[in-house]
Amino acid sequence: MRKEMKRVAGLPLPLYLIVLGLLFLALRCGVIPAGLPGGLFLLLVLGEGLNELGKSVPLVRTYFGGSVVCVLGGAAIGVSGLLPKDSTEILGRFIESEGFLIFYIAALITGSLFQIDRRLLFRASLRILPTALAGVAAGTAVVVLLGFLQGFSVTESLLYIAIPMTSGGMTAGAVPLSAIYAEASGIPAGEILTRIAPATVLGNIVSILFGALTVRLSARFPKLSGDGQLLRGEGAVQKKSMSQADFGSLLAGLLLSLAFYTAGALLHGFIPALPAYAGMILCIMAAKGFSVLPGEMEEAAAVWGQFVIRAFTAAALTGIGIVLLDLNRLASVLTLPYLLTIVLGVLVITLTAGFVGSRLMGFYPLEASIAAGMCTTNMGGSGNVAVLSAADRMSLLPFAQIVTRSIGALMLTLGGILAAILLH
């Protein structure tokens, strides 16, 4: 039987290489279009190539997989100078101000929430925050202890490592924290951000790597894993096959994901303390709780989410690596004791969440470790995507978002109180 030709991004390998060559020619000539055409083309080509590399190289495939290679490969591209400055700026605008990540995450949240049984959704949501709180409390204690052994004061360990690492990312965590600390201490916010950002970024990278390792753990110890299900004893989430999807259901799912995000943004406008994603999740949970949408529309949202995961995950992860992970900043402060403090802090949070979740809340250990543990130490929505993709647990995204936003808000509040007391 004739062997099927290898494909990358759905294209036969020779055709993909031609497209890749076209991309580099356009980069060299400085003619990459701004906005959606250039940003998406660049990320799809680079992202799918990195993803295929991660799935094909034996050692890398075994321990990391395509998702981790996309994130770290993107970060390496970002600092290497491979991309011209104007192309990097185009990507930065596309990822952040032009909303590609919002589009991507909104589709994932809507799709995954409408795949989950109503009863399961509400039961798991009520149990996951205590699980995450237990993990963060244990991890914070370990970070303070390790900091003390390195000669750091409790104030330094808490305010500059533990809290930034669990504050919900850069935009929603480290940046407002730097402003809060600056107001309390009189030190410029930029100087403080440079000091706290490495804990946020490194915690994110360690969480992604741990996420990748859970794939190996679930294969070796299947009893620890629910294969993406959080609560024990629940049936697997039923997914409509993409072969059954039609253009109408994809369009309906797209519109629903954007409508729910807009509803979340509207709530944020009325209640500024409520992030748009949190408002979006509340709106979807209300729609599920009161059966607002007919079943075929819920199914359409689920199908759209599956399509976006398949089509855009590699592109999104590569963009996160290029735009949001600064390896130079990490290298400037990285020492072995500092690295061990972050790694052990994330490890204790992860193990505690798995233990508490499985023993007290009825969760599967690995799923609890991922959603209530690793997703407290990553970079917000983008970090959730990276961790869950590395762990092959994208169905946990709604719970990860609940954890990240709630714990992040709590740590911001705690940081503000402690800064007012300790830095004044």
At 18 the pLDDT is 93
What letter does residue 185 receive in the DSSP assignment?
A: H
Using alpha carbons, select from 130, 132, 197, 209 the residue that is nearest to residue 163: 197
Residue with tokens 């990097």: 88
Using alpha carbons, select from 117, 394, 140, 412 the residue that is nearest to residue 275: 412
Q: Between 66-80 and 380-391, two packed helices, what is the crossing angle to 10 degrees?
A: 130
Instruction: State the Cα–Cα distance between residues 222 and 350, nearest whole angstrom.
Output: 18
At 350 the pLDDT is 96
Q: Per residue in 75-132, pLDDT tens?
A: 888 888 888 888 888 888 898 788 888 898 888 888 878 877 777 778 888 899 999 9
Q: Which residues of the chain have pLDDT under 70?
A: 1-4, 59-65, 171-172, 233-245, 424
The first and second tokens of residue 119, run together, are 């009863």
**CA distances, 271 to each of 12, 173, 278 (Å):** 50, 18, 11
Strands 11-12 and 7-8, sheet pairing: antiparallel
> Bridge-partner residues for 231, per DSSP?
363
The first and second tokens of residue 140, run together, are 């914070």
Using alpha carbons, select from 401, 356, 404, 399 the residue that is nearest to residue 377: 404
Instruction: State the Cα–Cα distance between residues 153 and 76, nearest whole angstrom.
Output: 34
Instruction: State the Cα–Cα distance between residues 38 and 32, nearest whole angstrom.
Output: 5
Cβ atoms within 10 Å, residue 31: 10
Instruction: State the Cα–Cα distance between residues 109 and 129, nearest whole angstrom.
Output: 18
The answer to whether the beta carbons of residues 265 and 279 sit under 8 Å apart is yes
Q: What is the mean pLDDT of the chain?
A: 85
Instruction: State the Cα–Cα distance between residues 15 and 22, nearest whole angstrom.
Output: 11
The answer to whether the beta carbons of residues 174 and 197 sit under 8 Å apart is yes
Size (the chain), residues:
424
Contacts of 224 (CB under 8 A, 6+ apart): 217, 218, 364, 365, 366
Say if pTM beats, i.e. exceeds, 0.85.
no
At 139 the pLDDT is 95
Sketch the domain layout of the chain as residue ranges: 7-97, 100-422
At 1 the pLDDT is 46
At 245 the pLDDT is 65
